[in-house]
Amino acid sequence: MTEEGNYKYLILIGPIIHALSFGELEIIEKAVIKVDLISGKIVSLIETIPEITDNCKVIKLGINEFVCPGFIDTHHHAPQTANLGLGLDRELLQWLDRYTFPREKSFGCRSIDSIKQEYSQMAQRLIRGGTTSCVYFGSLQLEANKILVDALVESGQRAFIGKVCMDQNSPADYIESTADSIKGTRDFISYIKSKNSPLVNPVVTPRFAPTCSMNLMKELGEISREHSCHVQTHLSENLSEVAWVKDLFPANQNYSQVYDEAGLLTAKTILAHAIYLDETEKSLIKERGAAISHCPNSNFALSSGCLNIRDLLEKEIKVSLGTDVSGGYSTSILDACRQAIITSKVIHFQDRQKYKPLNVAEAFSLATLNGAISLNLQDSIGNFLPGKFFDALVVNVHANPQIPTGPDNSLQNLFEKFIFCGDDRCISSVFVQGFQLK
């Protein structure tokens, strides 16, 4: 990170909202955040204006503006953006065959320029929507994934990227050998490391157990340990998928144990969906320290089911939010917050005495601090404690003319309107590691 212009520090003055722990928000009406623009880290968070020197860039928030941490999307399929809204009358396995695999296959025969343009536009769309960190599935092809890396390095977003691996039960024209999958993963990790980017990191990415042999998954587990990489995959998204895994891996007690046998269930693993877990699986995931990415939009759109997120949280399992583009039809983590609240209310209606739905503070925590915790980055991002990187959004709810103003424009009310009614028009500025991207 270099200095922005000739400034060494950024001084941001105005209201802030961030989560100190799950569901515990700190709301400061008159805050001053000082950021070291060389390191991108927060120097101090105070309520009195410090001495302003010539090497300080000062941003004073306007009326009805506030600052909050950037959003963290822990499950997103980069090649699938063009498929947003398509095929959502189907369930998972049919949808993959009809829409997803053909779309991803196309990245093997397109020009470099067209792929680069698509991925650059995708990154800018997410940044405009407030996603400062994102965990991406790429496609099968090594070269297309390198272009994705280049686009994300240029974007300035904090990104975790995986080359998808598939060596069985896949289309004849969209599959690879076990050896090619292993080699491609190693080459992809080397490519990312050659970029020397502090913001872009590799993720070992078996698509899901049905499309990966145990031999491949074990090799990928070894690679993840060798490089201390994150791992991402899908787990128990759909009942037909769960039954299929049981048939494919009869020696394993359950779906989660398949990944555990392969050495893929670690404290750096992100498991997308995880709707249909038994108690043994929940205990195993908690013991291994793995995290679950809750993707409520996709779970509704593909008729997969409703995740009982409160149960996972009460069991102290790490949970965050994902958009799951394009099983989910929105790229916005604001949408994921809303859909997570709706999902929790659906479950609440089934047992009003036992189940408490999510509130707005808890949904916001999932989108920010819990995302950091799921990535083991809670000491680096997720809120505005000194020493963390300044990944942040400046929010102006009234920049969206569709959101009505009211007589009470308290900070709490502005915050709630942003979560439930806001969109990218409400996000005035986006910062990643102290650098302004929007």
In a domain, 122, yes or no: yes
Structure tokens, 362? 């808890």
Instruction: For residue 1, tell me if it sits in a domain.
Output: no
* Whether pLDDT at 254 is above 60: yes
Domain end (from 374, 394, 419) = 374
State mean pLDDT over 230-257.
Answer: 98
- Which pLDDT does position 5 carry in this prediction? 65
**For residue 406, what pLDDT is reported?**
80
263-299 pLDDT per residue, tens: 999 999 999 999 999 999 999 999 999 999 999 999 9
Q: Are residues 179 and 246 in the same domain?
A: yes
pLDDT at residue 408 in the model: 85
Q: Give whole-number Cα distances, 392 to 43, 210, 321, 384, 389, in Å.
A: 15, 38, 17, 9, 9
| Inside any domain, residue 2 | no
What does pLDDT average to over the chain? Answer: 96
The reply to whether 261 and 218 lie within a common domain is yes
CATH number at residue 364: 3.20.20.140
Q: Domain boundary at 352, 374, 396, which?
A: 374
**What confidence score (pLDDT) does residue 405 get?**
80
Distance, in Å, from the CA atom of 388 to the CA atom of 44, rounded to the nearest integer, reads: 10
Same domain? For 334 and 259 the reply is yes
| DSSP secondary structure code for residue 163 in this structure | -
**Percent of the chain's residues with pLDDT above 90:** 95
Answer yes or no: is pLDDT of 2 > 80: no
CATH label of the domain that carries residue 431: 2.30.40.10
Q: Cα(304)–Cα(207) distance, rounded to whole angstroms?
A: 17
Are 216 and 140 in a shared domain? yes
Q: pLDDT, tens digit, for every residue of 13-22?
A: 999 999 999 9
Strand spans (E) along 207-316: 230-235, 269-273, 291-294
Per-residue pLDDT for 413 more than 90? Answer: yes
Domain boundary among 322, 343, 374: 374
Same domain, 36 and 162: no
4 inside domain = no
Domain tally, the chain: 2
Q: When comparing pLDDT for 353 and 157, which is higher?
A: 157
> 176 and 289: one domain?
yes
What is the pLDDT at residue 3?
46
Q: What one-letter code names the amino acid at 259?
A: Y
Indicate if 66 and 206 belong to the same structural domain.
no
Question: Does residue 161 lie within any of the structural domains?
Answer: yes
Same domain, 416 and 333: no
The model's pTM: 0.97
pLDDT at 214: 98
Between helix 142-155 and helix 178-194 the angle, nearest 10°, is 20
> Do 342 and 369 share a domain, yes or no?
yes
In a domain? residue 327: yes
Determine the average pLDDT of the residues in 157-180: 98
User: How confident is the model at residue 292, as a pLDDT?
Assistant: 98
pLDDT of 390 above 50: yes
Report the pLDDT value the prediction gives residue 245, as an integer from 0 to 100: 98
Q: Is residue 189 part of a domain?
A: yes
Q: Looking at the structure, do residues 44 and 166 belong to the same domain, yes or no?
A: no
CA distances 332 to 328, 336, 338, Å, are: 10, 7, 10
Mean pLDDT across 44-55: 84
Q: Which domain holds residue 120?
A: 71-374
Domain check: are 87 and 156 in the same one? Answer: yes
Of 401, 388, 383, which Cα lies nearest the Cα of 67? Answer: 383
Once rounded to an integer, what is the mean pLDDT over residues 205-220? 98
- Average pLDDT (24-29) is 96
Is residue 138 located within the same domain as residue 51? no
CA distance 108 to 88: 25
324-345 per-position pLDDT tens digit: 999 999 999 999 999 999 999 9
Within a domain: 152: yes
Is the Cβ–Cβ distance between 45 and 32 less than 8 Å? yes
